[in-house]
Amino acid sequence: MKLAEALSQRADAVRRVEQLRTRVTHSARFHEGEEPAEDAVALLAESEEVLAELQDLIRRINRTNSAAEIGADGTLTDALARRDVLRMHHAVLTSAADAASGRAEHGFGRQMRSELRMLSALPVAELRQRADGVARDLRDLDVRVQRANWEVDLLD
């Protein structure tokens, strides 16, 4: 099995656990004289099976990510850490540019000439340019990670 397939199965298992949790909580109590919509005990047992499968998948995915070398990016774990940091960096830069340009104020700008002007403490154009560069790096890295996901076999 390829890593990408395991990642898809992991996402399905997480969704399944969440659905089962919701169904268990809705069936955990019922009125006297009525039947519950579903058997909460059976749903709990099913959720425990799915959780065990999920744990195994996560363990295998993590082991594979730590062992799979993808060139200059290091291991997949290294690349995923870099991708997470690039996402945060992009968010910081765009938030700073938005705040400095006044986009975050939502119409609370200067109304009269006698009011004090708001000045930018940051160079907006430079921040947006830097954010564009980070976004480009993020896209490039994401392509390499996705390629590796379809090329790397899942370890046991």
8 A C-beta contact, residue 68 and residue 6:
no
Which tens digits make up the pLDDT trace of 78-132?
999 999 999 999 999 999 999 998 876 655 555 666 677 788 889 999 999 999 9
For residue 155, the tally of other CB atoms under 10 A from its CB is 16
DSSP 104: G
8 A C-beta contact, residue 152 and residue 68:
yes
What does the pLDDT average to over 23-32?
93
Q: pTM for this one?
A: 0.82
8 A C-beta contact, residue 115 and residue 81:
no
**pLDDT attached to residue 117:** 77
- Alpha-carbon dihedral of residues 34, 39, 41, 43, nearest 10 degrees? -140
Nearest to 73 by CA among 155, 151, 152, 148: 148
Which tens digits make up the pLDDT trace of 37-93?
899 999 999 999 999 999 999 999 999 999 999 999 999 999 999 999 999 999 999
Where in the chain are the domains?
Answer: 1-67, 69-151
